[in-house]
Each structure stands twice: as structure tokens, then as C-alpha cells.
Amino acid sequence: MTGDQEVLMPGYVDGFVIPIPKKQVKAYLAMAKLGARVWKDHGALGYRECIADDLKGFGQGFKKMAGLKAGETVVFSFILYRSRAHRDRVNAKVMKDPRMAGVTTMPFDVKRMAMAGFEVLVGW
């Protein structure tokens, strides 16, 4: 899947890795629930917010990759779209949505968050 090709199944994903203080998880959950509603309302195909349950992992692992400090955990989240063009349209609408105006502070250090857009290579 390349360019602006529209497909029926998810062909593009925004992915996030977010180190977060454990004491801020409740505040993050409230923000995540709002995000889920807003992205869904504007056409995202799927929205997942996942909190670490097993940080032993394999290889480098999320704990090391995210540079977790004492008292922190990590959130892995992703949003599904038909294509990059679809993602761009949805995100433009999300950024203009008045419900997002209330999100003025983040319950984590934004400078430590990792985010990128990914074209789907294999999916089912």
C-alpha cells in the first residue's frame, strides 16, 4: 500500500510509546477515553491504549527503550486508518475539535514520548 491509496482494511497506523508515572495513569486514562471518542467520531478505524503488564520482554524491551525511571510504566498506543491520506484528514479534524481544547496539560513528559506513522506491511 503506497501513497494515497484507500483500502478497506487498516493500511496506516500512528504508533506511540509513552513513559508515564504510575501515579498519573488515572489522569491518562481520562485523557485516553476522550481521545478514543474524538478519533472515532472523525473516522479512525480503531484506537487502542495499552498499559504495560509484562515488562520483561525480549531483546531490549520496552522498559529500556522507553528509559523508564523508578515509579514509571509505559503506555503503547496506536490508531488505525485506511491510508496516510485518511490519517491526515482525520487528524486535521481532531485538532479542530473543540473537545480537544480542554487538553492543555499532559500527565506525562511529552519530550519523552515517541510517535511515528507506519504503513502496514502485513495485517489480518
pLDDT higher than 60, residue 6: no
Write the pLDDT tens digit of every residue in 36-67. Answer: 999 999 999 999 999 999 988 788 888 888 99
The DSSP call for residue 107 is S
Q: What is the mean pLDDT of the chain?
A: 91
pLDDT higher than 70, residue 110: yes
pTM of the model: 0.87
C-alpha cell at 6: 484507500
pLDDT higher than 60, residue 17: yes
**φ, ψ dihedrals at 51, nearest 5°:** -105, 140
C-alpha cell at 49: 491504549
pLDDT higher than 60, residue 1: no
In angstroms and rounded to an integer, the radius of gyration of the C-alpha atoms of the chain is: 15
**Dihedral in degrees, nearest 10, Cα atoms 108, 23, 13, 35:** -90
The DSSP call for residue 113 is -
